[in-house]
Structure 1
Amino acid sequence: MHNQTPIADIKRLPNLWAVGTQSLALPTYRFYFDGLIAHILVCLPKGHSAAHLGNLIVGGEKSLVLSTVPFDNSWQYMNMRAVIEKHAIVMGG
């Protein structure tokens, strides 16, 4: 069950073939499942393979790297706050 519509997004990943260079901007769909966020890649750059991402993807290795963010610094919070503020302006509050 999820509580937000999936949205098109951009996920930045390190360029594994050119360490120290700019990260890669990859088109994704962002799914939010009541606290768990999943980014589904639309495509990978030529020459890249999901296998190269190792423990950054589910099933890539025995371990999995998960990033966490406190709710008050999260995209969800910022999005909710923007909607509430916009609503308050519209309602004259």
Structure 2
Amino acid sequence: MNGILPSDVEKALADCPAEYVQMHNMNSGHPQIQGCKRGTVFFFNRRYLIYVGVNGRNSKYPCIGFDPESNRRIKCTVDAFAKIQKICAVQ
């Protein structure tokens, strides 16, 4: 078990800046983002994160994950999108 509760996912999505949501929606057809669902829990860099959106101003680390343990957003590389797509494809 990853230790992330449904309330953590709700909080992460509620506290997410509108810019990240808007960029996720604008780029939803992009091959790297296509199939990624906001609120998906994924394992990245030795921690479980909740995918909350896309930072359009950072091409090197565009994926934004929320870490409930530290209560902060983490920038992730494009590799994170591949992990999220695999998880969403299985669900």
Give the TM-score normalised by the residue count of structure 1: 0.25
Greater relative contact order: 1 or 2 (C-alpha under 8 angstroms, separation 6 or more)? 2
Structure with greater helix percent: 2
Larger Rg: 1
Give the TM-score normalised by the residue count of structure 2: 0.25
